[in-house]
């Protein structure tokens, strides 16, 4: 399967992840405990897919940077992502998270000395326009809270940091892509599980069963999406994969309209905002 198909698959699966998280929350499950379930199920999927590559792994020490990166994203970010979906809805949260490629390039300009290109200004205008359209919509879900939008933007920043950290680590290291994805998810699981054991031990013990039932589909979606994305980047240029992965915003909008229904209040403003953000991400991908 080539980079184009894997990049498109990752975008669809990340869009599905937002809907699956919304479904888990709809069943009344604890969002923080749900983060452990999502990462646990995702790690199991990634580890199962990584087994055939175990023999090809040379020095296991090449994987440690990915363990640390995973502790940040999707470790710390997973709880924030679930809360963003809870408060802003899957469609709107995914649109705001879709600004991550632009933030990633901005960080690369500052930290990795990547060259500036005029198309970045056009991409910035498109992404900002998408945010303005989303902010100006009149019809929102009854449970919408502005905090969800803020958390989604924080997630976008964390994803951008992850992109640059992975790019930096990959300059000297080249472990099998699926193994790197599996180790990243295990690092994420470790940090979130440690947090809950220290700060939310009682909730973890009492709510784990119901959260497992509610969130395991989201975990499967995360595992498949993360592996697809990492392998796509391993096989193809960022300029090809990033725009395809950015379609997760439109996937989330479309799936919200079809699967969630009227409670998500997906209208013309939401669709237009998603299209503008994706268009900006596509330009960022072309520039990169």
Q: What are the tens digits of pLDDT across the range 159-199?
A: 888 777 776 666 566 778 888 889 999 999 999 999 899 88
Q: What percent of the chain has pLDDT over 90?
A: 24
95 close to 277: Cβ distance less than 8 angstroms: yes
Measure CA 225 to chain center: 9
Distance of alpha carbon 170 from alpha carbon 101, whole angstroms: 18
pLDDT digits (tens, 9 = 90+) for 46-79: 999 998 876 666 667 778 888 888 888 888 888 8
**How confident is the model at residue 159, as a pLDDT?**
83
49-86 as b/e: b if 16+ CB within 10 A:
bbeeeeeeeeeeebbebbbebbbbbbbbbbbbbbbbbb
Across the chain, mean pLDDT equals 80
Q: Of 106, 125, 104, give the one whose Cα is nearest residue 116.
A: 106
CB-CB contact of 275 with 250 (8 Å): yes
- Given a contact cutoff of 8 angstroms between Cβ atoms, the answer to whether 20 and 221 are in contact is yes
Q: What is the mean pLDDT of the segment spanning 213-234?
A: 91
Cβ–Cβ under 8 Å, residues 188 and 70? yes
Q: What is the percentage of the chain residues whose pLDDT exceeds 70?
A: 76
pLDDT number for residue 222: 96
- pLDDT at position 74, please? 85
Least confidently predicted of 37-51, 83-97, 254-268, 270-284: 254-268
Ramachandran bin of 261, using left for φ above 0, alpha for ψ from -120 to 50, beta for the remaining angles: left
Q: What is the pLDDT of residue 141?
A: 65
Helices 119-135 & 268-287 angle (0-180, nearest 10): 160
Max Cα distance, the chain (Å):
55
- The tokens describing 281, both together, are 């991400």
CA distance 260 to 27: 13
Every domain of the chain and the residues it spans: 3-287
Q: Is the dihedral of CA 84, 88, 89, 90 positive or negative?
A: negative
Average pLDDT over residues 41-45: 96
């Amino acid at each position: 399967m080539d980079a184009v198909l894997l990049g498109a698959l990752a975008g669809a699966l990340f869009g599905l992840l937002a809907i699956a998280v919304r479904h888990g929350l709809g069943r009344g499950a604890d969002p923080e405990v749900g983060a452990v379930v999502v990462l646990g199920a995702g790690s199991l999927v990634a580890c199962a897919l990584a087994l055939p590559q175990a023999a090809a792994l040379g020095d296991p020490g090449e994987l440690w940077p990915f363990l640390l990166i995973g502790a940040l994203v999707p470790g710390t970010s997973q709880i924030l992502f679930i809360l963003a979906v809870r408060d802003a809805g899957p469609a709107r949260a995914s649109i705001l998270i879709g600004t991550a490629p632009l933030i990633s390039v901005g960080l690369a300009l500052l930290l990795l000395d990547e060259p500036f290109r005029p198309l970045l200004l056009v991409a910035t205008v498109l992404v900002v326009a998408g945010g303005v359209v989303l902010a100006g919509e009149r019809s929102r879900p009854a449970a919408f809270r502005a905090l969800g939008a803020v958390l989604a933007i924080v997630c976008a920043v964390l994803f951008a940091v992850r992109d640059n950290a992975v790019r930096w680590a990959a300059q000297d290291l080249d472990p099998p892509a699926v193994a790197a994805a599996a180790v990243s998810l295990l690092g994420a699981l470790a940090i979130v599980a440690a947090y809950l054991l220290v700060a939310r031990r009682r909730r973890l013990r009492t709510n784990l069963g119901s959260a497992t039932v509610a969130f395991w589909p989201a975990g499967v979606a995360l595992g498949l999406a993360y592996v697809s994305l990492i392998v796509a980047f391993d096989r193809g240029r960022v300029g090809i994969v990033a725009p395809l992965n950015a379609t997760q915003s439109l996937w989330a909008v479309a799936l919200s309209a079809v699967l969630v229904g009227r409670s998500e209040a997906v209208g013309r403003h939401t669709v237009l905002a998603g299209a503008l953000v994706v268009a900006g991400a596509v330009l960022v991908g072309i520039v990169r």
